[in-house]
Amino acid sequence: MDKKFCRYSATGNTFLIFDNRDDSLSDLGQQVYETWCRDHQVDGLLFVEKPKGPRTDFHMRYLNADGGEVEMCGNGARSILHFVARRLQLPVEGDVYSFSTMNSIYKGKDTELFPILMTEIKDWGLLDVSDLLPTSLSYYLNTGVPHAIFEVEDLDNFDVLENGKRIREDKRFIKGANANFFSIIKENEIKMRTFERGVEGETLSCGTGATAVALALGKLRGWGPEVKVKVPGGNLIISFNKDFTEVYLSGPVDFLGESLLNAL
204-13-71-97 Cα dihedral, nearest 10 degrees: 140
As a whole number of Å, the CA-based R_g of the chain is 18
CB 98 within 8 A of CB 55: yes
Catalytic residue list contains 37 = no
Q: How does pLDDT run across 212-250, given as a tens digit for each residue? A: 999 999 999 999 999 999 999 999 999 999 999 999 999
Select from 155, 226, 165, 227 the least CA-distant residue to 193: 155
Catalytic position from the list 16, 73, 116, 199: 73
Average pLDDT (79-105) is 95
**Which domains, from first to last, does the chain contain?**
4-117 (3.10.310.10), 130-250 (3.10.310.10)
Q: What is the pLDDT of residues 142-182, one digit of tens each?
A: 999 999 999 999 999 999 999 999 999 999 999 999 999 99
Task: Point out the catalytic residue in the list 206, 212, 227, 238.
Answer: 206
Average pLDDT of the chain is 95
Catalytic site includes residue 206 = yes
Q: What is the pLDDT of residues 28-48, one digit of tens each?
A: 999 999 999 999 999 999 999
78-103 mean pLDDT:
95
Please tell me whether the peptide bond between 225 and the residue prior to it is cis, using omega within 30 degrees of 0: yes
Helix (H) or strand (E) holding 38: helix 30-40
Q: Indicate the pLDDT class of residue 1, thresholds 50, 70 and 90.
A: low
**Residue 95 pLDDT class (50, 70, 90 cuts):** confident
Partnered with residue 229 across adjacent β-strands are 190, 236
pLDDT at 211: 98
Q: Where does the pLDDT of residue 54 fall: very low under 50, low under 70, confident under 90, or very high at 90 and above?
A: confident
